[in-house]
Structure 1
Amino acid sequence: MSRAARTQEEIRRFLAIGAVQVAELDLNGAEATLRPGPGSPPVTHGEVFVLVRRAGVPVGTFLGRVPEGADPRTVLAGPAREVLAGDAGPAGPVTSPPSASVVSPPSASVVVATRERAGQLARALDSLLAQDHPRFDIVVVDNAPVTDATKELVHRKYGERVRYVREPVPGLAVAHNTGLAEAGGEVIAFTDDDVIADPRWLTELTAPFTADPRLGCTTGLILPARLRTPAQVLLESHGGFAKGFTPTTYDPANPPRDEPLFPFTAGRFGSGANMAFRTDVLRAVGGFDPATGAGTPARGGDDLYGFVRVLAHGHRLHYTPRALVWHHHRETWADLETQAHGYGAGLTAYLTAILVNRPALLPAFLARLPRGLAHARALTAVRETEGDGAAPGGAPGDHGSRTHPWPRRLSRLQRRGMLYGPVGYLRARRAVRDAARRGRR
């Protein structure tokens, strides 16, 4: 079969993927409370992606099916209790700071970078203003806007509750650095305009900084807000953005034995839609590289760059599944193509940025290069359904079996992105330099 024919077959199989409902089921003793996911209708019959909570705390997910005419809560409570009994989650170097319920969180600034997505931004801001954190402010950075829609939304609907800042230079890292300059909190948290934050998100994300003075960064859990389109279901079927339900602390003074590429596999630590830094630490390492991130030729990698820079300066990084945001995944095949290429480019762009800005890391990088190449091949391998020789993992909420193969075209695009990433970074770096020269004239 020709490559074009294979791609057409992949798209046909892709379009046949059905929607999955999203819900959360909270178990508190004998009680079970079922709620639809944020923005979702009440649960009916069919497949359901379920977040399981124990007295409000996220502990795991599973993919369930509700027969027609059955009571969803009764059907889903059984497998939810099995998840609770197992407390599922990947093993790792675990060091769990005390819960935010017993630790006073530090003051915080929340930065949301956005560009021409006022409708999504309003949804995100509503969830941020509902946070239970005692001391925080919100900064919206309008990145290279072409209209006044975002400015008008913030001023009209949110007034003094949200600060509006315009950043004319395009690029997510530039926008985040602008937010960093505006931040007044002890901790600066970043999220995206396409998320809905759990009410305890900010408290849980920032409380670990109080418990651990060596902590420089935290990341949190990202789950799908909706699984309505084939693209959303496929992405979540292969892991999405979730990093599991085991709290994990990464310490450069005690590298994890099961992470031979540490700290260069920064994608394992978390994602930019759910991250926070001790503000003075992020400023001390120089913030984010402005030649990385969406909106630049580098296409991405700004968050990964920040993680590695903080670790390279001797600070710890902590992942906590208690800090939850619901993410609106991209919706179309074209979106997935763009995303696959962008992720590949961002990965190698951030590695290039790290080595350009911190050449002292080059020997450590070269020592890990052979394993890194093997990791890259595995990362972009065609991932078939279980039973076709694939490793376990993949169904939304149940990473023990794959229900949808990962298209070869998306793997090829990710590999192409990896090859392009260093070139994209150098182009972005030159563009930043040229913009700085024009600004001095």
Structure 2
Amino acid sequence: MAVAELDLRAADGAVRSLRPAPGGPPLGEGAVYALVRIDGHPVATVTCQVAAGQDPAQALVTAFRAREAAPGATSPAAPDRSPPAPLPPRTTVVVATRERAGQLARALDSLLAQDHPDFRVLVVDNAPRTTATRDLVTSRYGGRVDYAHEPRPGLAVAHNRGVAAADRAAPVVAFTDDDVIADPHWLSALTAPFAADPGLGCTTGLILPARLTTPAQILLESHGGFAKGFAPRLYDPAAPPAGEPLFPFTAGSFGSGANMAFRADALRAVGGFDPATGTGTPARGGDDLYAFVRVLAAGHRLRYTPDALVWHHHRETWQDLRNQAYGYGAGLTAYLTAILVRRPALLPALLVKVPRGLAHARAITAHRPDDAHAGGTATDMTHMKHMTQAPGAHGAQSYPWPRSLSRLERRGMLYGPLGYAKARLRARGGATGRTP
């Protein structure tokens, strides 16, 4: 599927622009997945088939209008018409990376094109085997990008190194990954809320696929990808959301580590990221979820803002998807274990929510067959190539999901606490990786 951006004018719905996703090929006939903007603000995604000789813009507009008119459809979120936000605060952007200099260069180019008025980019080179990352930063980005070396493997450890090395005059620390391309307005949209809300501890933003060129990428996006929808949301521990009985333990609904920012003092006050969580450790993930819950549990608010957009390059192969499915499950229970180890006072609140939590876990990991291939198990890539329902609506849980991946997620959930324990044991005898 081609990936594109369609921008419409609010006044009359006319097309302002249509272009491929950053770095993507020109649009033509075939399947298209598009971000729809209204006056520049992201409001929805839509898919369609562009016929030979058909105008892609018109095809997408028709599909978008049909989506709006469908029975039971939810209208796209209206663009924010509130007064302009205060000037975004000074920010350090941390990018942790390991031996992916080519992808890193693409990400850094997009970060240096941000419209934010006052920021620095810091690359954390995590347990490098070569000098490729250091050479890239010093030769191509010398004077524009800062560099820090972290010898211990693990994403949380690398993020903590970034927090420690961040500009102490910068009240906000933002994080993204080396496999994204940031929208030019990303950092301003992500950090401006801190200037407007002194009680805000964390912000997250929208993550969309930069490419959908393989069945694995399409299936991941169908499973929800990393996006959390197009409606701004505020999570306040003083006023828990009525529709989320598991709050704040459903941290996966808040956002993802490829697009997040923290008030630096709030993050440091809770000890930063738990170094026994995250990619690169036996826990496999959960470092971002741990930080979200710790900041909320400390009384700070968290805001999700879809105007803060990054385009993520999903992994391409079936094995990558298998690894991600297992890692998602492991990271979920590993972060919950970390929370209870680091903050035992939260145990009673978690125990009360265990029954609903188990039901929620079963729902989000359930096998869903492809209706177009009733009776099929959708366990191999040959079947995936014929899927007709992807990408699905984010959070709808109506997309196909193979039984093999469902099992892997659930196995990961069983493994997560053990993985966290292994990571804790591995960290003993060395530095903790926590922020100062």
Length-normalised TM-score, structure 1: 0.89
* Unaligned runs of at least 5 residues, structure 1: 1-19
Q: Which residue identity does 2:152 align to in structure 1? A: V
Q: Pick one of 371, 395, 407 that aligns with 2:390.
A: 395
Tell me if the contact between 2:233 and 2:304 (Cα under 8 Å) persists in the aligned partners.
yes
The one-character-per-residue Cα deviations of 1:220-277 (angstroms, maximum 9, x if unpaired) are 0000000001100111112111100000000000001111110001000000000000
What is the CA–CA distance in structure 1 between the aligned matches of 2:233 and 2:371, rounded to whole Å? Answer: 28
The one-character-per-residue Cα deviations of 1:42-94 (angstroms, maximum 9, x if unpaired) are 1101110010111111111111111111111222223345668987459xxx9
Query: What are the residue-to-residue correspondences of 1:247-396 with 2, within 5 Å?
Result: 247-385=232-370, 395-396=390-391
Tell me if the contact between 1:111 and 1:191 (Cα under 8 Å) persists in the aligned partners.
yes
Q: Pick one of 385, 406, 414 that aligns with 1:411.
A: 406
Tell me if the contact between 2:224 and 2:395 (Cα under 8 Å) persists in the aligned partners.
no
What is the CA–CA distance in structure 1 between the aligned matches of 2:355 and 2:53, rounded to whole Å? Answer: 55
Query: What are the residue-to-residue correspondences of 1:10-409 with 2, within 5 Å?
Result: 20-28=1-9, 29=11, 30-81=14-65, 88=75, 98=82, 101-184=84-167, 185-385=170-370, 395-396=390-391, 398=393, 405-409=400-404
For 2:158, what is the secondary structure of its paired residue? helix
Tell me if the contact between 1:219 and 1:271 (Cα under 8 Å) persists in the aligned partners.
yes
Tell me if the contact between 1:220 and 1:270 (Cα under 8 Å) persists in the aligned partners.
yes
Deviates most, 120-129 or 373-382? 373-382
Cα RMSD between the aligned structures? 2.3
For 1:433, the equivalent position in structure 2 comes to 428
Q: CA 1:108–1:84 in 2, change beyond 3 Å: closer, same or farther?
A: farther
Q: Which residue identity does 2:19 align to in structure 1? A: R
Q: Which residue identity does 2:98 align to in structure 1? A: R
Q: CA 1:276–1:63 in 2, change beyond 3 Å: closer, same or farther?
A: same
What is the CA–CA distance in structure 1 between the aligned matches of 2:49 and 2:141, rounded to whole Å? Answer: 40
Tell me if the contact between 1:386 and 1:401 (Cα under 8 Å) persists in the aligned partners.
no
What is the CA–CA distance in structure 2 between the aligned matches of 1:119 and 1:310, rounded to whole Å? Answer: 34
Aligned length: 410
What is the CA–CA distance in structure 2 between the aligned matches of 1:281 and 1:403, rounded to whole Å? Answer: 38
What is the CA–CA distance in structure 1 between the aligned matches of 2:215 and 2:354, rounded to whole Å? Answer: 35
The one-character-per-residue Cα deviations of 1:381-413 (angstroms, maximum 9, x if unpaired) are 102235869xxx963265598896211111111
* Unaligned runs of at least 5 residues, structure 2: 376-387
Q: Could you tell me how far 1:292 is from its partner in structure 2? A: 0.5
Tell me if the contact between 1:144 and 1:167 (Cα under 8 Å) persists in the aligned partners.
yes
Q: Which residue identity does 1:26 align to in structure 2? A: D
Tell me if the contact between 2:94 and 2:174 (Cα under 8 Å) persists in the aligned partners.
yes
Q: Could you tell me how far 1:38 is from its partner in structure 2? A: 1.2
Deviates most, 405-414 or 303-312? 405-414
Q: CA 1:259–1:151 in 2, change beyond 3 Å: closer, same or farther?
A: same
Q: Which residue identity does 2:112 align to in structure 1? A: L
Higher helix share: 1
Q: Percent identity?
A: 68
Q: Which residue identity does 1:255 align to in structure 2? A: P
What is the CA–CA distance in structure 1 between the aligned matches of 2:45 and 2:258, rounded to whole Å? Answer: 20
Tell me if the contact between 2:160 and 2:272 (Cα under 8 Å) persists in the aligned partners.
yes
Q: CA 1:236–1:158 in 2, change beyond 3 Å: closer, same or farther?
A: same
Q: CA 1:140–1:423 in 2, change beyond 3 Å: closer, same or farther?
A: same
Q: Which residue identity does 2:400 align to in structure 1? A: P
For 2:325, what is the secondary structure of its paired residue? helix
The one-character-per-residue Cα deviations of 1:94-123 (angstroms, maximum 9, x if unpaired) are 9x8956x44211111100000000000000
Q: Which residue identity does 1:69 align to in structure 2? A: G
Q: Could you tell me how far 1:433 is from its partner in structure 2? A: 1.5
What is the CA–CA distance in structure 1 between the aligned matches of 2:32 and 2:277, rounded to whole Å? Answer: 37
Tell me if the contact between 2:47 and 2:63 (Cα under 8 Å) persists in the aligned partners.
no
Q: CA 1:366–1:89 in 2, change beyond 3 Å: closer, same or farther?
A: farther
Tell me if the contact between 1:60 and 1:83 (Cα under 8 Å) persists in the aligned partners.
no
Length-normalised TM-score, structure 2: 0.90
Q: Which residue identity does 1:22 align to in structure 2? A: V
Tell me if the contact between 1:25 and 1:50 (Cα under 8 Å) persists in the aligned partners.
yes
Q: Could you tell me how far 1:162 is from its partner in structure 2? A: 0.3
